[in-house]
Amino acid sequence: MLAHTHPERVLSFVDIEGNIAPEDCFLSRQVIDYPEGSDEQFFDEFIVRTLHVPAWASALYSAGLRYKVRASAVRYIFKSMVDYSDRGELMAKFLNLACPKMFMYGEQNATLSYLDYIQQRGVKLAEIPECGHFPMYSNPIAMWRHISEFQKSALSTRVSHQ
C-alpha cells in the first residue's frame, strides 16, 4: 500500500509471499473461520493450528509467535489483511508499480493460481526450494540470494536507463 501511495520513492519491490490475492489469506482468514473466544484464546488456538500445518517451517514460525506478537493485535491485523486481500485490489496495485518487481514463494506454494499471470506481466518469480510459506525460516540463504541478485539486476537496469 505504501509503494502504491508513493511510487516515486520505490526503486524495486520484492513481495515475499505477501498477499496479492484472496487465496493468500490461508493463515489470516482463520479470523473469520474461528471467530469465537477472547483475543488470547484465538491467538493460542491459532498458534496450535499453525504448528500443525503441513507446510515446512510452520512449526518454527508458530513457536516464536507468542514472543513476537501481542494477542490483542492479531485479530485486527488479520481482519485488515483479509479485507485488503479480498477488496483492496492488491494484485492491480502490485502489477501497476512502475519499478522492477519480484514475487518470492516457497516450493510448496508453486500451485498459486496467479503465478503465470503475474510472470506474463513482467514480475520476476523466485521459487525458493525446500520451502513452504516462510522462506525466511525454511531457506533463508536461498531467499537472500534471490533478493540480492534481483536488487543488483534492478539497480543495473536503473543505472543503464539514466
User: pLDDT at position 96, please?
Assistant: 96
> Cα–Cα distances in Å, from 82 out to 28, 47, 60, 162?
7, 18, 23, 40
Q: Which amino acid is at 64?
A: G
Residues forming beta bridges with residue 102, ordered by sequence position: 14, 124
Helices (H) and strands (E) in the chain, counts: 9, 3
What is the Cα–Cα distance from 43 to 151, expressed in whole angstroms? 36
- One digit per residue, the tens of pLDDT, for the chain of length 162 reads 999 999 999 999 999 999 999 999 888 999 999 998 999 999 999 999 999 988 889 999 999 999 999 999 999 999 999 999 999 999 999 999 999 999 999 999 999 999 999 999 999 999 999 998 899 999 999 999 999 999 999 888 765 655
- Within a 10 A sphere around the Cβ of 119, how many other Cβ atoms? 12
User: pLDDT at position 79, please?
Assistant: 95
What's the predicted TM-score (pTM) here? 0.90
Q: Which fold has domain 2-160?
A: Rossmann fold (3.40.50)
Query: What three-state secondary structure class fits 54?
Result: coil
CA nearest 95: which of 134, 124, 133? Answer: 124
Quote the distance between the C-alpha of residue 87 and its chain's center.
Answer: 17
Give domain limits for the chain.
2-160
Q: Which amino acid is at 39?
A: D
Angle (nearest 5°) at CA 156 between 154 and 159 = 110
Quote the distance between the C-alpha of residue 52 and its chain's center.
Answer: 20
> Dihedrals φ, ψ of 149, to 5°?
-65, -40
- Within a 10 A sphere around the Cβ of 56, how many other Cβ atoms? 20
What is the Cα–Cα distance from 57 to 44, expressed in whole angstroms? 18
